[in-house]
Structures are given as C-alpha cells and as structure tokens.
Structure 1
Amino acid sequence: MATHRHYYQPSAMPINVPSKAPAPAGLYPVSRVHGSPPDLSDSSTVAGSRTSGGLTFSSASGDYDSSSAGYSGVDVVDVLNGRMQDAYDPIPLDKGIARQAQTSGRMNAKQQELLELQALAQRRLKGVRSNFNEGLRVARETKRDLEWTQKRVSALKSKAERAHPDDYRRAAQKYAYDDRY
C-alpha cells in the first residue's frame, strides 16, 4: 500500500478564496451563519454529534442546524477569507525583503569597490617601491660620482699648487673658495 505525503509550502501571495461560487452538484451547500463559528471544546462532543452555543452539529448529515441560534446572513467562506487575509499581511514582509535586497546590493557594490581600490593601491605601492629603489640607486651613483670628482679636484688643486705656487696663491686670494663643501 503506497503512502502519499503532502507537505505545506508557504506562498508569497495571500490565498484568494472565492466568496460566492455556486456549489457543484453532489457537494454540501455553504450555509449562511451570523457571526463567528462557535468555539467547541472536547467536552461538547457526544457520540457523533456536537453541541455548542445552541447549534447542533451532526456527523451523520454533514450539516448543522443554524435556525435555533438565529445565525443568518453571513457567508462562512467570506468570514474565513477575511480572517485569512487579516492574519497575514505580506506588505511589511515584502518591504523588509526589498530593503534587505537593496542593502545587500549596496554592500556587494561597496565590497567590489573596496576590492578594486585595494588592487589599485597594490599597483601604486609597487610603482612607488620601484621608483624609490630607482631613486636610491641614482643617489648612490651620484654620491660615488661626487666623491670621485672631489678627489679628482683635490688632486688637481694640490698639483697646481705645487707646480705654480705664486700663481696659485694670487688666484686663491682673487677667487675665494670655501673648501668645506
């Protein structure tokens, strides 16, 4: 024997139940009842029939007698449909989901922007390091060149001073040169 299981699947849309559709032949007619359906307790059930608030429900006929309580003029389907719609209002949920989707989209966009900026910063840092290393190399070369030039000028100066002492002394007095640099 095969067992069939039915699972409840919630819907995003409220259920629309037709309020005054004609009942097909062979089905029980929908009665009009004044007010809400009566509350039944377990103690009111007696051998196939239940009584509550002046109403008698019988399992044999599948019908109930509404004349004794004076219930008339209300469609049960309308009452149940109204209660269903009052019990669940999808608008706040939909607004919340829309707000969450917008926030998630903004966060994803900011995350993507952050990743792009991080990649740009990495490329710039790599370029700055390269430029810095190149600057250090050029500074070392310049320092070496200046030291070599200073040694060469000092050697030429001492050679000129030894070879032409009188002319060197007059030139040194005429053109004062600070040797500290």
Structure 2
Amino acid sequence: MSTQFVQPYSLPMPISSKGRERDYSSSAYSVSPPEVDESVSSGTGPSYSQPSGYSVANSSYAGSQSGDFESAASASGVDLNEYMQDRFAQSFDPIPLDRNIAIQAQTSGKLNAKHRELLELQQKAQARLAKTRERFNEGYRDAQEVRADLEWTQKKVTSLKNKASRKHSKEYSKARARYPSPDSF
C-alpha cells in the first residue's frame, strides 16, 4: 500500500473567467497588470502571469522607492518631472487664481478696516458709557444732598411755625387768615 503525500496548494488552481477581470486598483499598491506580448497569448484572452523578475517592490509603481521610479522613467527616455511640469503649465491658468487672490486680499483689507472701525466705535461707546455713569452717579449724589437739605429746611420751617404760633398766637391766626397755607388748598 502506497500512500501519496500531497502538499497543499502545490497543484495549479483553475482560474475562472471572472478571475481574469480582476480590479487591480483596489489592491494595496494599486498595480496595473503586467504587459505581455501579443504573440505569447493563447487566444482565450489576456494572460496575467508574472514575467520572471517582476515584483511589486521592484516595479516602477512602488510608492516608497522613488529611485526605481525615476530609473524606469529615465530608461524610457522621458524625464517625468519635466513632463509633469510641462503638463501642469499647459493645464494651469494662473490668471483666475491671481484675480481671486486679489479679490480676497481686497475683501480681507476691507474686513480688517471695518473691524478696526468697529473697535474704535466700541471704545468710544465705552468711554461715553463711563462718562454717562459718572454723570449719573454725580447727579444722584447731588439729588440726595438736595433731598437732605430740603428735609432739614422742612423741619426747620415746621419748628419755626410751631414756635411762632405758640408765642404770637393772635398775629399768627391773623396772618394765617390773610395768607392761607398751600396745605389747605
């Protein structure tokens, strides 16, 4: 009896037609499928087998290895930096951006001027409020003094009236008849 040991995944796995339409943009490195000569194809569709020596780390698409990217670009005779700068210069029109920056600077200047004006007006209003409070407090103190003086005067007049009515009762009643007090109205 012979037992045969089969290693897992040692046999080629069949690939369905859906497997050939793999979306390479969702992989971790966003790698496009490798190029294959058309003479090598089997006629059933494109073959995506890796050529010898091809790996993601050594490819021109590896993001962390910019030296490989530049060497692959220079190997094809195209300076990618110059090419990208040319493309950017052709597609980028700085005039609308400059206009918008100028408008933004003008608006910012106007806003700053209005803000300073508002701060000045706020300081003036605070100074006026402080003066008004000071005047109000001064007027309140003056009114309290006047009230105290009037109360003292009222007490003094009342005491003098009582003294006069006691000492000179006949003359007081005559004067009272002649000049009635405002209280009796």
Q: Could you state the TM-score of these two structures normalised by the residue count of structure 2?
A: 0.50
Residue aligning to 1:175? 179
2:122 maps to 1:118: yes
Q: Taking every aligned residue pair, what percent have the same amino acid on both sides?
A: 53
> Greater helix percent: which structure?
2
> Which of residues 137, 160, 163 in structure 2 aligns to 1:156?
160
Residue aligning to 1:133? 137
CA–CA separation in structure 1 for the residues paired with 2:36 and 2:106 = 53
SS in 2 for 1:93: helix
Residue aligning to 1:58? none
Write out aligned runs for 1:31-42 (5 A). none
Are the structure 2 counterparts of residues 108 and 138 from structure 1 closer, same or farther at C-alpha, using a change threshold of 3 Å? Answer: same
- Residue 88 of structure 1 aligns with an amino acid whose one-letter code is F
Please state how far the C-alpha of 1:179 moved relative to its aligned partner: 3.0
CA–CA separation in structure 1 for the residues paired with 2:128 and 2:114 = 21
SS in 2 for 1:179: helix
Write out aligned runs for 1:17-56 (5 A). none
Q: Structure with the greater relative contact order (CA < 8 A, sep ≥ 6): 1 or 2?
A: 1
Aligned length in residues = 106
Q: 5+ unaligned residues in a row in structure 1: which ranges?
A: 1-41, 45-61, 63-80
Residue aligning to 1:146? 150
CA-atom RMSD in angstroms: 2.7
Write out aligned runs for 1:67-146 (5 A). 87-146=91-150
Runs of 4+ in 1 over 6 A off after TM superposition: none
Are the structure 2 counterparts of residues 162 and 135 from structure 1 closer, same or farther at C-alpha, using a change threshold of 3 Å? Answer: same
- Residue 153 of structure 2 aligns with an amino acid whose one-letter code is T
Residue aligning to 1:166? 170
